[in-house]
Structure 1
Amino acid sequence: MVGFLLWLLLLVFCWPIALLALVLYPIVWLLALPFRLVGITVSAVFAFLGALLMLPARVLRGRPA
């Protein structure tokens, strides 16, 4: 909601930049999409490796002494 209000403010004060931003936003979003997917994948791999490395500690902690 705040982003929309800021865009309306930009539209009132400088409409060519606001219209340019409106046209370029989908293009920038499409260009950034592969980087977001790589970030999600790398985050998932690190979470998997962390869980895999902590597995022995969890097994030993869950076992009664």
Structure 2
Amino acid sequence: MLKLLLFCVLIVFCWPLALLAVVLYPLIWLVLLPFRLVGVVFEGVFDLIGALFSLPGRLVRAL
């Protein structure tokens, strides 16, 4: 809701900048999408490595 209000204020005071933001936001989102996907993959890999290193301790603690 706040973003919509800020956009309305921007469109009233500087409409060319608001139109530019509407056009560029999806393009910037598409450019940054591969970086988000790489981040998700690396987070999963690091979680898997952490789980593998903590597995022996969990097994000993369970006994």
Q: TM-score, normalised by structure 2?
A: 0.95
Correspondence for 1:23: 23
Deviating beyond 3 angstroms after TM superposition, the runs of 4 or more aligned structure 1 residues are: none
- State how far apart, in whole Å, the 2-side matches of 1:57 and 1:4 are: 50
Aligned AA for 1:53?
F
Gaps of 5+ in 2: none
Give the aligned partner of residue 62 of structure 1: 62
Summarize the alignment of residues 1-65 of structure 1 with structure 2, pairs less than 5 Å apart. 1-63=1-63
Per-residue CA distance 1:18-49 (angstroms, 9 max, x = gap): 00000001100000000000000000100000
- Structure 1 unaligned segments of length 5 or more: list them: none
RMSD, aligned CA = 0.6
User: Distance between the aligned counterparts of 1:49 and 1:18, measured in 2?
Assistant: 45
The residue matched to 1:43 in structure 2 has which SS? helix
Identity of aligned residues (%): 56
Count of residue pairs the alignment pairs up: 63
| TM-score of the pair, normalised by structure 1 | 0.93
Counterpart Cα distance in 2 of 1:4 and 1:44: 34
Structure 1 residue 7 displacement after superposition = 1.0
Q: Deviation of residue 62 (structure 1)?
A: 0.5
